[in-house]
Amino acid sequence: MPQRGPSAAPAPGPADRARAASVRGIAEELARMRGPLLPILHAVVAAHGYVHDDDIPVIAEVLNLSRADVLGVVSFYHDFRRTPPAAHRVALCRAEACQARGADATYAAATDRWAGSTEIELGEVFCLGNCALGPAGTLDGALHARLTPERLDTLTAEWDR
């Protein structure tokens, strides 16, 4: 996953300032919780799609943590993505129960189809709790079952247009 280098950023423009203010607002609102960092990061991803490098010092300041602490948490968890999401997101389960129902073939087909795409992002997950109806996966966040390569094609037919 391509990541922006730290502070190669030019001087903040109005959009950056608006984002910083929004992130600060989120952090300040949730700071009173016990253990607020994960809820704050979830809220930032929900509002802005990802955690930008510039969000980290803002959150660190509000919580009185070091930037390294916040960065350490952001980088530990899969959910706190650091780049903007693509237009469409596919996440396929590759865990045992789905493997038993052919998840590898679906994943291979998806890789063939979308490798290198900037519009469609393919990821892997390990169990979505739909293990009796696999291969399971999510398409733009919505859970699907029995995802054979053909079914995946049908469900995403409109995306490639």
Q: Which of 141, 152, 155 is nearest to 106 (CA)?
A: 152
Conformational region of residue 115, where left means phi above 0, alpha means psi within -120 to 50, and beta covers everything else: beta
Instruction: Closer to other proteins by CB, 34 or 161: give it.
Output: 34
Q: Tell me how far apart the alpha carbons of residues 44 and 103 are, in angstroms, rounded to a whole number.
A: 32
Q: Tell me how far, at minimum, the Cβ of 101 lies from other proteins, in Å.
A: 5
- The site for ligand FES (CB under 6 A) is made up of 93, 95, 97-98, 127-131, 134, 136
Site residue total, other proteins (CB under 8 A): 38
CA 104 from chain centre, in angstroms, equals 22
Structure tokens at 49: 């799609």
Instruction: Closer to other proteins by CB, 106 or 130: give it.
Output: 130
Q: Which residues pair with 88 in a beta bridge?
A: 120
Q: Which of 99, 117, 148, 156 binds other proteins (CB under 8 A)?
A: 99
Instruction: Closer to other proteins by CB, 58 or 134: give it.
Output: 134
Q: Residue 84: CB partners within 8 Å, gap ≥ 6?
A: 49, 50
Residue 20 interacts with which of ligand FES, other proteins, none, CB < 5 to 8 Å by class? none
Instruction: Closer to other proteins by CB, 10 or 35: give it.
Output: 35
Binding site for other proteins (CB under 8 A): 34-39, 41-42, 72-73, 76-80, 95-101, 125-134, 136, 141, 143-146
